[in-house]
Structure 1
């Protein structure tokens, strides 16, 4: 018996807007009435009408569900496409009961970190996301992929899977690389109003500037308050002792695969050899005089950029680097400001020594002027140039590590220049 939908509604005495529960209720009511009246033939008609409407509603629900899923997938696809805009990637989203899979084509293996960070950033703020598990797959071919990671957005952190750890473990370092240097600059600016404290910190960096040159040149040196005491004769103990320490540092860096440590050790070994065996005593005296204020620039710069280095575990650098970057920033900012003020005539050249006053001929700048023959203009110009070079190095290191830890910034910058 073929019955159209309109007849089915009439037979069951319901309208087209009736819910399945209402249709089912009407069906059982009519069947009951027919049984009481003995109208068995009509029961078959009612059953046919009921089954027809039931199949129709199920088909209708399936179509609505399919359309809803497609709309959901398209919504997520559009969101991911916006998040990855500028990377020229093809994106497809497939939603299952258990998870949403984001398939990406056209990516390169080295883009994994960038893609995961941008997607994770979008997912955390997506109001339309109905799943807590998201699988990200970077396709190589139709059947193979470069990599695949799961992101679990469940509230329970203990149930989160590897991709969250892969991303979240880098969040702390990203934050440090972004904000530590600006914060250190702000601290240096605040300390500039406490001149005595700034001078005290910078004084030790100044003296270590002298001492490091003496040690690398093979001379004994003792850093004291406001002075560095050195011997007049070279010491094999100092040379080979420091060489041994540098060699041990090189070996430790190689063993722990710390490239920055190895590079620094090799540079210092070469520099030590040159200063000890090649540089003349006259040039050593000049270099010693220069390295006090010079150290305020290049040593403070090294303290700042060393924040980004990975040194051997026994150095406990992950802890000490915070103090080092603060000391470096305070010293550098103070010296940079002072010498640029000297250049424009707002401050005086620091002739003499702490203990002997401005007239002490043993002062660093006095030696450069009297012994090495540097003019006042040369002295100021040299330290200004050194300060500018060091500033460029600091900014360069900051930007390099900023973009290294936040590769998605390149994508966001490219969006500004379509």
Structure 2
């Protein structure tokens, strides 16, 4: 017997909003009633109505599901497209039962980290994601690809985590790279109001400036409170001892596949050779006098930028780098402001020594003036220039590592000018 949908609803005593479960319940209830009453002919009609409604409702659900999936895919596509705007990429999103696949066309292999980071950030900040596994594929052709990477999210969207740490820095490390220098600057500014404490910290950096010149020139040097004591004769023990330590640093960096310590070690080995065997004694005296205040700039700069270096694990640098950047920032800010104030006449040149006073001819600047023939203006200009160079190095390192850990920032900046 032919029966239409409207009659099916009437036979099963349900309305057109009934779900599959409602239809099944109605079917078994009516069949049970028919069996009790002995209405076997009606059971056949009920079965036909049930089968027709079930097929119709399942077909509707499949269509709704397909439409919902298309809507979901389009929503993700729009979200990712906004994140990658300006990169001229084609994007296709497909949703599967166990994962979401995002296909990218038109990218370059070197853009991998940037693309992954932008996609990760866009999905993390949205509430549209329905999958915990997202596969990102950078296609070369329809059948081949440059690379494929998985992004795993936890079910709790308030605590999403990217699992591939070797591609993207941990969120904590990103935050550090973003805010460590501004925070260190704020600390340095706060310490500037505690002049005695700032002087005490800077004094040790100052003396290390003298000592490093002596050590790298092959002389023994001992740092004391407010002074650095050096020998008059060069020491092979000092030269080869430092050379051994630098070689060990290079080897450890090579073993752990970390470039920063290897590069620094090579540069310092070259400088050590030049200072020890090529620089004359008169130039050494000048460098020693210059190295105190000079060290306040270049050593503090090294302490700051070294925060971003990945040194060998035996150095425990992940712990010590926080103290390093704070000491560097405090010393650099104090010396930078002092010498710029001296330049404009707001402060005086610090002639003399801590123990002998301003009239002590053995002071660093006195030696530069009397022994090396530097004029007061030359002294001021040299240290101000050095401070400006160091500041540019610090800012350059900060911006480089900021964009390295957050490549999406560069894309967003480019998007502003499109």
TM-score between both structures, scaled by the size of structure 2: 0.90
Cα offset, 1:334, TM superposition: 0.2
Query: 2 CA distance for matches of 1:36 and 1:53?
Result: 24
Distance 1:18 1:284, change over 3 A: closer
Does 2:176 match 1:189?
no
Give unpaired runs (5+ residues) of structure 1.
none
Are 1:13 and 1:26, in contact at CA under 8 Å, matched by a contact in 2?
Answer: no
Aligned partner of 2:345 in structure 1 is 345
Aligned partner of 2:150 in structure 1 is 149
Are 1:77 and 1:91, in contact at CA under 8 Å, matched by a contact in 2?
Answer: yes
Aligned partner of 2:416 in structure 1 is 416
Query: 2 CA distance for matches of 1:51 and 1:306?
Result: 74
Q: How big is each residue's C-alpha offset from its partner over 1:67-111, in whole Å with a ceiling of 9 and x where there is no partner?
A: 112112211221222222222222222222222222222233333
Aligned partner of 1:314 in structure 2 is 314
Query: 1 CA distance for matches of 2:255 and 2:30?
Result: 84
Are 1:221 and 1:231, in contact at CA under 8 Å, matched by a contact in 2?
Answer: yes
Are 1:14 and 1:23, in contact at CA under 8 Å, matched by a contact in 2?
Answer: no
Cα offset, 1:14, TM superposition: 5.8
Q: How big is each residue's C-alpha offset from its partner over 1:244-303, in whole Å with a ceiling of 9 and x where there is no partner?
A: 322332333333333221222221222122222222222111111111111111111111
Cα offset, 1:392, TM superposition: 0.3
Cα offset, 1:112, TM superposition: 2.7
Within a 5 Å distance, the mapping from 1:244-259 to structure 2 comes to 244-259=244-259
Aligned partner of 2:260 in structure 1 is 260
TM-score between both structures, scaled by the size of structure 1: 0.90
Cα offset, 1:45, TM superposition: 4.9
Does 2:199 match 1:218?
no
Aligned partner of 1:285 in structure 2 is 285
Aligned partner of 2:78 in structure 1 is 78
Aligned partner of 1:273 in structure 2 is 273
Are 1:133 and 1:154, in contact at CA under 8 Å, matched by a contact in 2?
Answer: no
Query: 2 CA distance for matches of 1:276 and 1:165?
Result: 43
Query: 2 CA distance for matches of 1:23 and 1:266?
Result: 79
Q: How big is each residue's C-alpha offset from its partner over 1:191-230, in whole Å with a ceiling of 9 and x where there is no partner?
A: 1111001001111111111111111112221111111112
Distance 1:264 1:48, change over 3 A: closer
Query: 1 CA distance for matches of 2:50 and 2:271?
Result: 94
Cα offset, 1:142, TM superposition: 2.9
Within a 5 Å distance, the mapping from 1:3-22 to structure 2 comes to 3-9=3-9, 16-17=16-17, 21=22
Instruction: Number of aligned residue pairs: give it.
Output: 416
Which stretch of the first structure deviates more once superposed, 351-360 or 69-78? Answer: 69-78
Could you list the runs of 4 or more consecutive aligned residues of structure 1 that deviate by over 6 angstroms after TM superposition?
Answer: none
Distance 1:29 1:259, change over 3 A: closer
Aligned partner of 1:404 in structure 2 is 404
Are 2:250 and 2:266, in contact at CA under 8 Å, matched by a contact in 1?
Answer: yes
Aligned partner of 1:106 in structure 2 is 106
Are 2:174 and 2:405, in contact at CA under 8 Å, matched by a contact in 1?
Answer: yes
Cα offset, 1:137, TM superposition: 2.7
Query: 1 CA distance for matches of 2:133 and 2:370?
Result: 74
Query: 2 CA distance for matches of 1:323 and 1:153?
Result: 34
Give unpaired runs (5+ residues) of structure 2.
none
Cα offset, 1:375, TM superposition: 1.2
